[in-house]
């Protein structure tokens, strides 16, 4: 149970910190943090929580990561459902807190996006469904390779959180204009349910593509790093 609570708290922090920076601070008049700031915020949530709860739950914070670690031989199948439920629960709770905070501003309009992921007219840069699928698959694939590689028994000790956090930052720098960056079904779900409509209708992409990418990344790392743990 402690592992599941840790995953709930960690995913709560990821969504509150990452999506919160996008909703509350990205375009704040005169001192907005912009795309770079939001990218750093997502990376910092993972970096800080990896040190805080990595030794308790492994700090997955992401259903695609949990599935990828299982596919990579690092995680037991019986733990998948409880982990995923805890992650989605934490993400939805964070989305609710963020909604309560943001709605304290009279100009807040949840239908404007609320940091939801999307494609087509709901892509920040107007990118198509094909672009969204390719981006989410490839970015999650590479994310899993970094996760598995940096936590390999042969990798430098204690540096995995830094590598993983910086990798997530880089992923956001690349892909925010395309999909608003998911690579995490829980993160996408946690805000989409408050937007409803188009955000929920397009949510399937941000479950299917990251899971495919995670499994592909696990398969690649098992091939190239198979002699290690």
HEC sequence for the chain: CHHHHHHHHHHHHHHHHHHHHHHHHCCCCCCCCHHHHHHHHHHHHHHHHHHHHHHHHCCCCCHHHHHHHHHCCCCCHHHHHHHHHHHHHHHHHHHHHHHHHHCCCCCCCHHHCCCCCCCHHHCCCCCCHHHHHHHHHHHHHHHHHHHHHHCCCCCCCCCHHHHHHHHHHHHHHHHHHHHCCCCCHHHHHHHHHHHCHHHHHCCCHHHHHHHHHHHHHHHHHHHHCCCCC
Query: CB 31: neighbour CB atoms within 10 A?
Result: 7
Rounded Cα gap, residues 102 and 98, in angstroms:
6
**What mean pLDDT is predicted for residues 183-198?**
97
Is residue 111 very low, low, confident or very high in pLDDT (cuts 50, 70, 90)?
Answer: confident
Task: Give the pLDDT confidence score for residue 129 in this predicted structure.
Answer: 98
**What mean pLDDT is predicted for residues 141-156?**
95
Token pair 């805890």: residue: 86
Is residue 3 very low, low, confident or very high in pLDDT (cuts 50, 70, 90)?
Answer: very high
Domains of the chain, first to last: 2-224 (1.20.1080.10)
pLDDT digits (tens, 9 = 90+) for 34-78: 999 999 999 999 999 999 999 999 999 999 999 999 999 999 999
Task: Give the pLDDT confidence score for residue 178 in this predicted structure.
Answer: 97
HEC sequence for 117-147: CCCHHHCCCCCCHHHHHHHHHHHHHHHHHHH
pLDDT value at 98 more than 90? yes
What is the Cβ-side half-sphere exposure of residue 6, based on CA atoms within 13 angstroms?
Answer: 16
The reported pTM is: 0.93
pLDDT value at 90 more than 70? yes
Task: Give the pLDDT confidence score for residue 227 in this predicted structure.
Answer: 59
Is residue 16 very low, low, confident or very high in pLDDT (cuts 50, 70, 90)?
Answer: very high
The mean pLDDT of the chain is 94
Is residue 113 very low, low, confident or very high in pLDDT (cuts 50, 70, 90)?
Answer: confident
Query: CB 48: neighbour CB atoms within 10 A?
Result: 17
Rounded Cα gap, residues 207 and 190, in angstroms:
12
Nearest alpha carbon to residue 88 among 192, 208, 214, 172: 192
């Amino acid at each position: 149970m402690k592992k599941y609570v840790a995953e709930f708290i960690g995913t709560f922090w990821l969504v509150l910190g990452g999506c919160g920076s996008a909703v509350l601070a990205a375009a704040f008049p005169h001192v907005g943090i912009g795309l770079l700031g939001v990218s750093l915020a997502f990376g910092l949530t993972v970096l800080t929580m990896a040190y805080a709860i990595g030794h308790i739950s492994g700090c997955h914070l992401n259903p695609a990561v949990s599935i990828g670690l299982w596919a990579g031989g690092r995680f037991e199948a019986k733990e998948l459902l409880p982990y995923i439920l805890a992650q989605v629960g934490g993400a939805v709770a964070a989305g609710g807190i963020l909604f309560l905070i943001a709605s304290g501003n009279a100009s807040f309009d949840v239908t404007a996006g609320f940091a939801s992921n999307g494609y087509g007219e709901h892509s920040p840069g107007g990118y198509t469904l094909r672009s969204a699928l390719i981006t989410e698959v490839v970015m999650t694939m590479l994310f899993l390779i970094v996760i598995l590689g940096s936590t390999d028994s042969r990798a430098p000790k204690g540096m995995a959180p830094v590598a993983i956090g910086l990798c997530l930052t880089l992923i956001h720098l690349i892909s925010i204009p395309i999909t608003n960056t998911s690579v995490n079904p829980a993160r996408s779900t946690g805000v989409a349910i408050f937007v409803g409509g188009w955000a929920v209708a397009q949510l399937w992409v941000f479950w299917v593509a990251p899971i495919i990418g995670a499994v592909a990344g696990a398969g690649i790392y098992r091939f190239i790093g198979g002699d290690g743990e």
